[in-house]
């Protein structure tokens, strides 16, 4: 069954304190080599029936209205086949 995935990430110019906190913790845990971490959200949606263009357009509007804050976040909608 396909599912629709919405990835929501802070815009590049927006400060991301959660990502910074993760980045700061990595050396303390013994990890090196990571230069940047950004933290965002991932939504997995199950829809009734087929994932048509109309369904994807709906999910775009959901992402704009509810799942993201367009002032500070970008989002991406895509379809993923599940195992």
Q: Which of 20, 56, 58, 74 binds a second copy (CB under 8 A)?
A: 58
Nearest 10 degrees: Cα torsion 43, 12, 58, 41? 10
Mask for 62-81, x = binds a second copy (CB under 8 A): x--xxx--------------
Q: Which of 44, 70, 72, 79 binds a second copy (CB under 8 A)?
A: 44
Q: Which of 45, 77, 81, 44 is nearest to 61 (CA)?
A: 77
Q: Which of 10, 5, 6 is nearest to 71 (CA)?
A: 10
Instruction: Name the site residues for a second copy (rule: CB under 8 A).
Output: 7-9, 19, 22, 25-26, 29, 31, 33-49, 55, 58, 61-62, 65-67
């Amino acid at each position: 069954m396909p599912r629709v995935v919405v990835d929501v990430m802070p815009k590049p110019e927006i400060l991301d304190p959660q990502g910074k906190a993760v980045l700061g913790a990595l050396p303390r845990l013994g990890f090196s080599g990571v230069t940047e971490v950004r933290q965002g959200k991932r939504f997995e949606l199950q829809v009734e029936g087929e994932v048509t263009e109309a369904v994807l357009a709906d999910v775009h509007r959901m992402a704009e209205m509810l799942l993201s804050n367009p002032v500070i976040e970008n989002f991406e909608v895509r379809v993923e086949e599940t195992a």
